[in-house]
């Protein structure tokens, strides 16, 4: 076993192994980050294809292309693939790449486990994808896998459950690695309150992951035993309760959606100051706001279940607790806006995506606030309004920020600048089409169109057609990003400087390194810690 | 080789990939078995063998690296933190089943029995005669009649076994810290012995439940929560005892120093965690 020892000069440009085995057995945080990012990008298109199947079927009323059962499989699998295969892995990829660079560490703290968490992810997604080809079809109960409906799944059920187990193991290992890296591997002088906000948000996200993934694992284990081993957890005849599953699921599920949004906040807080050429406004309040959001995420879960028949005290408690989330979130939006206020702003592609994020995420947040009001939620529940809400918080928020992160760091990763004109084309196509896609769904939901159905009454026809057109424009314009990635790797529009963005060096450590980053970095800890970001 | 200041970063890892393939094969095999395909169990055994091979190889590698001094203080701290957060994830896993027990026992069974009934609720239409009580196998009396497990036979003995194993484990740790290898080995052997004795008692209790008391995993919500909680705990005791056995063999080979013994500490933490879970079980499942 050869070993690379951090802080040893003679290993300075020790490069990677050649061939495919480099990628299978790698322990290098940059390699693993790259694997995660490419895997996530691939799954983004797999999940996206499923979304386009859904939108094709909904293009007009009546049954067009697919069977209702398959349609329901598509809504279920689209969600599972996007959540567990695309958005979460993409952020883990960014964490792998950027956290050691941002805190001046030679690598992640537990490099072998890092490798395992990536392959566990691939294995989990393979198990999930295999259900598409099984007797009885893929799970069609919605990604929440509510019993008793989910227990009617065919051969796919145990595979889906074990897939959740493997994805859970993967996430827990990845999260433990992040926490240990942040607590144990920071360069001298990099105190917690000097860390870039991306590191902070990931630290808190990792805590959420360790707390919730075992909960989801427990919930699906009970589904498994209810189906195959005669238990009665979710069967009222045996003294159990199907609503118990919903409580457990959402105790996982609510923090889970924050797992996808907190690193989004972190990247936005990293990008906006660079292009506003100002320090981040309210660094400390950002840290506290993120912590507050994480804490609140554990005590609001039943707002997903207002119509299930809870006692009135429960409805009221979960309603008020949910509204509280708007406070720290409002702090964040205020801080981003104040960061841009009177800044010397320029509008390169990463900044465009980030500004769109601030605006469109705020809209998604406001519709969330509308639904937190329990009596109103009785009207919105399980309609397209909720679909519009969470897609606004995931697509023009998480996905836009992932794209922004791609444009922001690609020059650092590859050493080449991306094509700015094509980047802006990608942005404008995405920003316009995403609103054509999701905004009409608010109207559909308020008018009463239920979610997860393959057919609908004719009064919903117009907005559905517009939404589907937006979906196709949005979906196909994402291919531009694939082109950008490969074009930038091949040379893009010329060499990037080490600093890439003007004065970026003042904000974070990665810009003090050469572009592209060497295979091993910070074998000697950095001497000076940037302080511009707080 | 590592120095006091340098952090050891392995350049490649073979075992994680092999372990992943092993686990995936095991789970896919199990799923096929559950779906009624004969080849599932073969697949499962093959996957498990691969997984055990990974565990053996990986831990042997870690032990060898640790003994050759590659794990400096910084690496040790990473391992300790990693273990603590892993145990935290286990706490959350058990919390789910304790939560399910609390929810059904204190809320949903009462609701089934009509507590808080009002207009729009269907409980009384389905099972108008059901009266809430605990233990229960529900209005459908799923699994038929059963007796409940008392607290003061084998379970009390099991409590004493596990608590004393916690004591012997700490005694072994003191021996290790003081450089008394003899005390370390004796203490660990006693801990492992008590651990396996616990597993035997638990197996006897299960046997009794199934053969004489009519209490099975299928005995409604009582049987479900009883066997899931104690079953997952028993599984963790087995894992902990196996880990401690490995640590015992390593101690006999002369591994560990008073300064460098993460494997022992990790195993001991895990063991105490399993112990604490049992105390929770003893109170909430057996006594109350």
Q: What is the CATH number of the domain that holds A467?
A: 1.20.210.10
Give the per-residue pLDDT at A532.
65
Per-residue pLDDT of chain B (288 residues; tens, 9 = 90+): 344 567 888 888 999 999 999 999 999 999 999 999 999 999 999 999 999 999 999 999 999 999 988 888 899 999 999 999 999 999 999 999 999 999 999 999 998 888 876 665 555 678 888 889 999 999 999 999 999 998 898 999 999 999 999 999 999 999 999 999 999 999 999 999 999 999 999 999 999 999 999 999 999 999 999 999 999 999 999 999 999 999 999 999 999 999 899 999 999 999 999 999 999 999 999 998
* pLDDT surpassing 50 at residue A200: yes
Please state whether A14 falls in left (phi above 0), alpha (psi between -120 and 50) or beta. Answer: beta
CB contact under 8 A, A159 and B20: no
Which member of B27, B34, B224 has the closest CB to residue A231?
Answer: B224
Q: What is the pLDDT of residue B123?
A: 56
Could you tell me if A186 lies within 8 Å of chain B, comparing CB atoms?
Answer: no
- Nearest Cα residue in chain B from A240: B221
Comparing CA positions, the residue from B168, B7, B178 lying closest to residue B79 is B7
Round to whole Å and give the CA distance between A499 and A505.
6
Looking at every residue in chain A, the average pLDDT score rounds to 94
**Cβ distance A163 to A127 under 8 Å?**
yes
Residue B10, strand partner residues: A3
Instruction: State how far the Cα of A99 lies from the Cα of A114, in Å rounded to an integer.
Output: 13
Cβ within 8 Å, pair B19-A185: no
User: What residue spans define the domains of chain B?
Assistant: 1-71, 72-287
Token pair listed for A252: 């996982």
What would the two tokens of residue A262 be? Answer: 């907190």
**Interval A422-445: pLDDT, tens:** 999 999 999 999 999 999 999 999
Q: For residue A278, indicate whether it is catalytic.
A: no
* Mean pLDDT across A369-374: 95
The catalytic residue among A254, A381, A391, A533 is: A254
What is the residue range of A380's domain? 17-225+233-512
Q: Count of residues for chain A?
A: 534
> For residue A3, what pLDDT is reported?
35
Chain A hits for B65, CB-CB cut-off 8 Å, are 1
Whether A442 sits among the annotated catalytic residues: the reply is: no
Q: Angle at CA A422, nearest 5°, toward A410 and A89?
A: 40
Interchain proximity A219–B96, CB inside 8 Å: yes
- Among the partner-chain residues B11, B23, B220, the one whose CB lies closest to the CB of A166 is B23
Residues A348 and A326: their CA atoms lie apart, in Å, by: 30
Question: How much of chain A exceeds pLDDT 90, in percent?
Answer: 93
User: Within an 8 Å CB–CB cutoff, is residue B86 touching chain A?
Assistant: yes
Residue closest to A437 by CA, chosen among A477, A398, A402, A405:
A477
Determine the pLDDT at residue B69.
86
Predicted local confidence at residue B129, as pLDDT: 86
Q: Is the pLDDT of residue A399 over 90?
A: yes
Nearest-CA distance B6 → chain A (Å) = 5
Q: Is A256 a catalytic residue?
A: yes
Helix (H, G, I), strand (E, B) or coil at A526: coil
Portion 144-203 of B in contact with A at CB < 8 A: none
Q: Which fold has domain B72-287?
A: 1.20.120
CATH topology of domain B1-71: Helix Hairpins (1.10.287)
Q: Which of A146-150, A381-385, B5-9, B208-212 has the lowest mean pLDDT?
A: B5-9
Tell me the pLDDT band of A49, cut-offs 50, 70 and 90. very high
Which residue in chain B has the smallest CA separation from A221?
A: B228
**What six digits make up the tokens of A217?**
């694992």
DSSP code of B106? I
Min mean pLDDT across A162-171, A510-519, B37-46, B106-115 is at B106-115
Which DSSP category does B6 fall into?
Answer: P
Determine the Cα–Cα distance for residues A46 and B214; give it in Å rounded to an integer.
Answer: 49
What gap in Å lies between CA B158 and CA B200, rounded to an integer? 10
Confidence of residue A4 (pLDDT cuts 50, 70, 90): very low
- Does residue A532 fall inside a structural domain? no
For A209-229, how does the pLDDT look when each residue is reduced to its tens digit (9 = 90+)? 999 999 999 999 999 999 999
ipTM above 0.90, yes or no: yes
Q: Which helix (H) or strand (E) holds A452?
A: none
Residue in B96, B145, B262 to test binding to A, most A beta-carbons within 10 Å: B96
Would you say residue A389 lies in a domain? yes
How does pLDDT run across A264-278, given as a tens digit for each residue? 999 999 999 999 999
Q: For B48, phi and psi rounded to 5 degrees?
A: -60, -40
Residue A171 annotated in active site: yes
Nearest-by-Cβ selection for A158 from B35, B58, B61: B35
* B1-71 shares its CATH topology with B72-287: no
At A386, the pLDDT band (50, 70, 90 cuts) reads very high
Interchain CB distance below 8 Å, A159 and B77: no
- Residue A241 zone, left/alpha/beta (φ > 0; ψ -120 to 50; rest): beta
Would you list the DSSP string of B129-181? T----SS--TTTTTT---PPPPSTTHHHHHHHHHHHHHHHHHHHHHHHHHT-H
The predicted-structure confidence for A69-107, as pLDDT tens digits, reads as follows 999 999 999 999 999 999 999 999 999 999 999 999 999
* CA-based nearest residue in chain A for residue B77: A184
Å between B111 CA and nearest CA of chain A: 10
Q: What is the mean pLDDT of residues A122-150?
A: 96
Helix, strand or coil, per DSSP, at residue B257:
coil
Enumerate the β-bridge partners of residue B224: none
Nearest to A495 by CA among A434, A429, A412: A412
Task: Tell me the C-alpha distance between A418 and A410, whole Å.
Answer: 7
- Which residues, numbered 245 to 304 in chain A, qualify as contacts with chain B under a Cβ-Cβ cut-off of 8 Å? 247-248, 251
B142 to chain A, minimum CA–CA distance in Å? Answer: 5
* Total number of domains constituting chain A: 1
Asked if B198 contacts B237 with a C-beta cutoff of 8 angstroms, the reply is yes
A269 in active site? yes
- Picking from A113, A221, A244, the nearest residue to B108 by CB comes out as A244
Model pLDDT for residues A479-496, shown as the tens digit of each residue: 999 999 999 999 989 999
Q: What per-residue confidence (pLDDT) applies to B122? A: 54
């Amino acid at each position: 076993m050869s070993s690379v020892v951090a802080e040893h000069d003679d290993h300075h440009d020790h490069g990677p192994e050649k061939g495919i085995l480099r990628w299978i057995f790698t322990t290098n945080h940059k390699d693993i980050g790259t694997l995660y990012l490419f895997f996530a990008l691939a799954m983004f298109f797999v999940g996206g294809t499923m979304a386009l199947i859904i939108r094709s079927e909904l293009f007009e009323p009546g049954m067009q292309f697919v069977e209702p059962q398959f349609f329901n499989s598509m809504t279920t699998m689209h969600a599972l693939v996007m959540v567990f295969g695309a958005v979460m892995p993409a952020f883990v990829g960014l964490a792998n790449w950027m956290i050691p660079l941002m805190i001046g560490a030679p690598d992640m703290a537990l490099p072998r486990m890092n490798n395992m968490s990536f392959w566990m992810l691939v294995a989990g997604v393979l198990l999930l994808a295999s259900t598409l080809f099984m007797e009885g079809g893929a799970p069609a109960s919605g990604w929440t896998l509510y019993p008793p409906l989910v227990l009617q799944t065919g051969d796919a059920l145990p595979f889906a459950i074990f897939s959740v187990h493997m994805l859970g193991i993967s996430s827990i290992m990845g999260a433990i690695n992040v926490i240990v890296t942040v607590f144990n591997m920071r360069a001298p002088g990099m105190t917690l309150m000097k860390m870039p906000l991306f590191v902070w948000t990931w630290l808190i996200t990792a805590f959420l992951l360790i707390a919730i993934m075992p909960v989801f694992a427990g919930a699906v284990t009970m589904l498994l035993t209810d189906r195959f081993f005669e238990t009665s957890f979710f069967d009222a005849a045996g003294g159990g309760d199907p609503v118990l599953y919903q409580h457990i699921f959402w105790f996982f599920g609510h923090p889970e959606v924050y797992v996808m949004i907190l690193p989004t906040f972190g990247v936005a807080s990293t990008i906006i100051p660079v292009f506003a050429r100002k320090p981040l406004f309210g660094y400390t309040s950002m840290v506290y706001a993120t912590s507050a959001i994480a804490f609140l995420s554990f005590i609001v879960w039943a707002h997903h279940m207002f119509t299930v028949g809870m006692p009135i005290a429960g409805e009221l408690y979960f309603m008020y607790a949910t509204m509280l989330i708007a406070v720290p979130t409002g702090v964040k939006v205020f801080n981003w806006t104040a960061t841009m206020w009177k800044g010397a702003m320029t509008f390169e592609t990463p900044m465009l995506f980030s500004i769109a994020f601030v605006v469109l995420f705020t809209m998604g947040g406001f519709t969330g606030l509308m639904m937190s009001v329990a009596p109103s939620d009785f009207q919105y529940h399980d309609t397209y309004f909720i679909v519009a809400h969470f897609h606004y918080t995931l697509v023009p928020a998480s996905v836009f920020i992932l794209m922004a992160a791609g444009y922001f760091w690609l020059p650092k990763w590859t050493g080449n600048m991306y094509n700015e004109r094509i980047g802006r084309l990608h942005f404008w196509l995405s920003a316009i089409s995403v609103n054509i896609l999701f905004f009409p769904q608010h109207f559909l939901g308020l008018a009463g169109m239920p979610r997860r159905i393959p057919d609908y009454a004719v009064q919903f026809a117009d907005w559905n057609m517009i939404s589907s057109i937006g979906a196709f424009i949005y979906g196909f314009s994402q291919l531009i990003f694939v082109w950008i990635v490969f074009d930038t790797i091949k040379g893009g529009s010329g060499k990037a400087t080490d600093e890439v963005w003007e004065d970026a060096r003042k904000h974070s450590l990665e810009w003090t390194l050469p572009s592209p980053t060497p295979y091993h970095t910070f074998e000697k800890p950095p001497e000076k810690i940037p302080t511009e970001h707080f | 080789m590592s120095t006091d200041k340098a952090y050891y970063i392995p350049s490649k890892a073979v075992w994680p990939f092999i372990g992943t393939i092993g686990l995936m094969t095991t789970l896919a095999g199990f799923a096929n078995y559950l779906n009624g395909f004969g080849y599932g169990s073969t697949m499962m055994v093959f996957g498990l063998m691969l997984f055990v091979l990974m565990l053996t190889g990986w831990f042997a590698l870690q032990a060898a690296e640790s003994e050759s001094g590659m794990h400096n203080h910084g690496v040790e701290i990473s391992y300790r933190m990693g273990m603590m957060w892993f145990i935290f994830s286990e706490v959350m896993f058990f919390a789910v089943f304790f939560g399910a027990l609390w929810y059904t026992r204190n809320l949903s069974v009462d609701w089934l029995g009509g507590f808080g009934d009002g207009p729009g609720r269907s409980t009384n239409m389905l099972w108008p005669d059901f009266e809430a009580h605990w233990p229960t196998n529900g209005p459908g009396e799923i699994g038929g009649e059963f007796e409940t497990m008392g607290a003061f036979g084998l379970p009390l003995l099991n409590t004493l076994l596990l608590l004393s194993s916690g004591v012997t484990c700490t005694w072994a740790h003191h021996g290790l810290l003081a450089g008394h290898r003899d005390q370390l080995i004796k203490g660990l052997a006693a801990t492992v012995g008590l651990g396996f004795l616990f597993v035997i008692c638990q197996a006897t209790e299960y046997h009794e439940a199934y053969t004489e008391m009519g209490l099975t995993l299928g005995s409604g919500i009582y049987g479900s929560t009883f066997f899931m909680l104690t079953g997952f705990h028993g599984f963790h005791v087995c894992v902990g005892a196996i880990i401690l056995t490995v640590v015992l063999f390593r101690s006999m080979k002369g591994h560990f120093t008073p300064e460098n013994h993460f494997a022992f500490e990790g195993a001991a933490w895990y063991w105490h965690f399993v112990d604490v879970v049992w105390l929770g079980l003893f109170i909430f499942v057996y006594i109350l």
